[in-house]
Amino acid sequence: FTGSAFGSAAIWQYESLKSRVQTYFEEARADWMDKMRPQKRGDFRKQVNSWWNNLTEGQRTVTGIIAANVFVFCLWRLPSMRRIMFTYFTSNPSSRALCSPMLLSTFSHFSLFHMAANMYVLWSFSSSIVSLLGCEQFIAVYLSAGVISTFVSYVAKMATGRFEPSLGA
Whether this model's pTM surpasses 0.85: no
Task: Tell me how far apart the alpha carbons of residues 143 and 6 are, in angstroms, rounded to a whole number.
Answer: 10
- Residue 91 sits at φ, ψ, to 5 deg, of -100, 135
pLDDT tens profile 3-44: 888 888 888 888 888 888 887 777 666 655 555 565 556 677
pLDDT tens profile 51-74: 878 888 888 888 999 999 999 999
Q: How many Cβ atoms sit within 10 Å of the Cβ of residue 59?
A: 15
Using DSSP, state whether 21 is helix, strand or coil: helix
What pLDDT, on the 0 to 100 scale, is given for residue 71?
94
Can you give the residue ranges of every domain in the chain?
Answer: 105-160
